[in-house]
Chains A and B, each alone.
Chain A
Amino acid sequence: MIEVTDLTVRYGGVTSLDGMSVTFEAGTCGLIGPNGAGKTTFFNVLSGFVRPASGTVRAFGDDLLRMPHYRRARWGVRRTFQTEQAIEGLTVYDNVSMQHSPLRGTARRDDVLVAIEFVGGGLTPDARVGSLGAGQRRLVEVARAVAGKPRLVLLDEPAAGLPDEETAHLTSVIKSIPEQTGALVILVDHDMSLVSAVCETTAVLDFGKLIASGPTAQVLRDENVMRAYLGTAEVM
Chain B
Amino acid sequence: MIDTAGPKAPVSTGLVRRPDRRALTRAAVITVLLLLALFALPPLMSGYYTDTMTQVAIYSIVTLGLGLLVGRVGLYSLGQLAVLVIGAWVGARLLFATGQPYILVLIEAGLVTMIIGSLITLPALRLRGLYLALITLMLAGAVTVVLATLNFPNGGGGFSGYNGSFLHIPQIRRPSFAGTDPAYYRFAVIVAIVMFLLVFVHLRARPGRAWAAIRQSEPAALAAGINTTVYKLWAMALASFVTGVAGALLAGADRELFSIDFPIQNSIELLAVVLMGGAFALSGAVVAAFLLAFLPALLYQLWSVPNDWLIILFGVGVMQVLATAPGGIADQFPKDMKRLYGWISRRVRGSAAPEPAPAQAASAKGGGPA
Q: Tell me if B130 is interfacial: C-beta within 8 Å of chain A.
A: no
Task: Choose, from A19-27, A58-66, A85-93, A211-219, the stretch at the interface.
Answer: A85-93
Q: Tell me if B225 is interfacial: C-beta within 8 Å of chain A.
A: yes
- Chain B interface, >50% SS class: loop
A19 to B3, CA, bound (A): 43
Do A120 and B216 have beta carbons less than 8 Å apart?
no
- Per the CB 8 Å criterion, the residue count for chain B at the interface is 31
Do A118 and B209 have beta carbons less than 8 Å apart?
no
Nearest-CB residue, chain B, relative to A168? B4
Q: Tell me if B179 is interfacial: C-beta within 8 Å of chain A.
A: no
Do A47 and B3 have beta carbons less than 8 Å apart?
no
Do B213 and A87 have beta carbons less than 8 Å apart?
yes
Q: Tell me if B227 is interfacial: C-beta within 8 Å of chain A.
A: yes
A93 to B14, CA, bound (A): 12
Do B3 and A85 have beta carbons less than 8 Å apart?
no
Interface-centre pick from B2, B210, B226 (highest chain A CB count, 10 A) = B2
Given contacts A48-B222, A79-B223, A122-B2, contact A98 B7 (CB under 8 A): no
User: Chain B residues near A110 (CB, 8 Å)?
Assistant: 12-13
- In which size bucket is the chain A interface? 35 or more
Do B10 and A85 have beta carbons less than 8 Å apart?
no
Q: Which of B1, B11, B217 sits near A114, CB closer than 8 Å? A: B11
CB distance from B343 to the nearest CB of A (A): 25
Do B8 and A133 have beta carbons less than 8 Å apart?
no
Residues of A within 8 A of B (CB): 47-49, 69-70, 72-74, 77-79, 81, 85, 87-90, 93-94, 97-100, 109-110, 113-114, 117-122, 125-126, 133, 135-136, 139, 144, 165-166, 168-169, 172-173, 176, 180
Q: Which of A73, A139, A166 sits near B223, CB closer than 8 Å? A: A73
Nearest-CB residue, chain B, relative to A166? B2
29 A-B contacts (beta carbon < 8 Å) = A47-B219, A48-B222, A49-B222, A73-B225, A81-B217, A85-B217, A87-B209, A87-B212, A87-B216, A87-B220, A89-B212, A90-B213, A98-B213, A109-B15, A113-B13, A114-B10, A114-B11, A117-B13, A121-B4, A133-B2, A139-B2, A144-B224, A165-B1, A166-B4, A168-B4, A169-B3, A173-B6, A176-B7, A180-B10
